[in-house]
């Protein structure tokens, strides 16, 4: 049987997971699936362990075999499934200001022609915008099943401020050599984007979903990572000028303040101060 993961990034989305996946793919002591987001432990668990193991068939003697999937943190059964299937593996999360994460996710929806026209409407119509900010609830499920020293809690702000230091924290947690970043990688390229053609971007996303449903995750991952595809479909937007209304910011903070307070208690992190709450 193929080697199974001993490391999983479990979430959330819009918090640097794509950058992390790209960087760890370059490490000689790490094997990651070419496709980010296999969604095995939430969407496709019924495909069975042989299917999951086959995704890692090219792993050899790397110290770390892993997967980056942004949604496991929020599925109520994922932590238990991971523990039962893989044992006490290393788990990582990267936490981002829930307002910024929800806003970034909304911009992603809009560039693919998904959901309501305004952020306020999206917060009401798309519950995942708030649910994926319930970091403490998701982490509690993992901390009940995994040793605390097997769970690495990183901050998206640190990635933006100092990508090398952020990655050094990950490699230290994994027990592997430091990976010096190239000049291009030091600029954590995490821009918001607008579709050049919403119709084309929406069609591309639907096609990717169809291919993934039909066991084409590797193909989806390679296409999505293509610089040509990114340049063709999207153009960057300025986060400094495209911002949510203050009323919407307050709504997200009110809904998720208990989660942030719980994180501060559990991990001794000054999150509200860092995030300007």
* Adjacent-strand bridge partners of 35: none
Report the pLDDT averaged over residues 169-184: 96
Answer yes or no: is 212 within a domain. yes
**How big is the chain, counted in residues?**
277
Output the pLDDT for position 11. 97
Answer yes or no: is 43 within a domain. yes
Output the pLDDT for position 255. 98
Report the pLDDT averaged over residues 148-168: 97
| pLDDT grade for 199, boundaries at 50, 70 and 90 | very low
Taking alpha carbons only, the member of 72, 58, 54 closest to residue 7 is 72
Question: How many folded domains does the chain comprise?
Answer: 1
Answer yes or no: is 2 within a domain. no
Answer yes or no: is 90 within a domain. yes
| Residue 146 near residue 91, CB atoms below 8 Å | yes
pLDDT digits (tens, 9 = 90+) for 58-83: 999 999 999 999 999 999 999 999 99
Answer yes or no: is 108 within a domain. yes
Output the pLDDT for position 200. 45
Domain that holds residue 44: 7-269
pLDDT digits (tens, 9 = 90+) for 228-244: 555 454 455 555 547 89
Q: What is the CATH number of the domain that holds 140?
A: 3.40.50.300
Answer yes or no: is 137 within a domain. yes
pLDDT digits (tens, 9 = 90+) for 30-48: 999 988 999 999 999 999 9
Does the pTM exceed 0.85?
no
**Helix count and strand count (H, E) for the chain:** 15, 7
Q: Is residue 219 packed enough to be buried (19+ CB in 10 Å), middle (13-18) or exposed (0-12)? A: middle
Answer yes or no: is 1 within a domain. no
| Residue 31 near residue 66, CB atoms below 8 Å | yes
Answer yes or no: is 277 within a domain. no
């Amino acid at each position: 049987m193929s080697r199974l993961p001993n490391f999983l990034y479990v979430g959330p989305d819009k918090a640097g997971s794509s950058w992390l996946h790209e960087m760890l793919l370059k490490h000689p002591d790490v094997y990651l699936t070419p496709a980010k987001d296999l969604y095995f432990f939430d969407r496709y668990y019924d495909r069975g362990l042989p299917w999951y193991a086959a995704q890692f068939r090219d792993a050899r003697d790397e110290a770390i075999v892993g997967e980056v999937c942004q949604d496991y943190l929020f599925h109520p059964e994922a932590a238990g499934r991971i523990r039962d299937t893989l044992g006490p593996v290393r788990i990582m999360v990267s936490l981002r200001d829930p307002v910024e994460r929800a806003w970034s996710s909304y911009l992603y929806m809009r560039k693919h022609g998904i959901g309501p026209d305004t952020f306020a409407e999206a917060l009401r119509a798309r519950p995942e915008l708030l649910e994926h900010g319930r970091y403490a609830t998701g982490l509690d499920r993992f901390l009940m099943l995994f040793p605390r020293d097997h769970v690495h809690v990183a901050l998206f702000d640190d990635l933006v401020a100092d990508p090398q230091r952020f990655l050094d924290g990950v490699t230290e947690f994994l027990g592997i050599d430091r990976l010096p970043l190239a000049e291009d990688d030091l600029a954590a390229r995490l821009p918001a984007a607008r579709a050049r053609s919403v119709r084309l971007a929406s069609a591309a996303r639907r096609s990717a979903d169809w291919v993934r449903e039909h066991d084409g995750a590797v193909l989806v991952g390679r296409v999505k990572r293509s610089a040509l595809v990114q340049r063709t479909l999207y153009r960057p937007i300025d986060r400094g000028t495209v911002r949510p209304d203050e009323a919407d910011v307050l709504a997200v903070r009110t809904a998720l303040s208990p989660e942030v307070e719980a994180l501060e208690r559990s991990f001794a992190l000054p999150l509200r101060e860092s995030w300007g709450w």
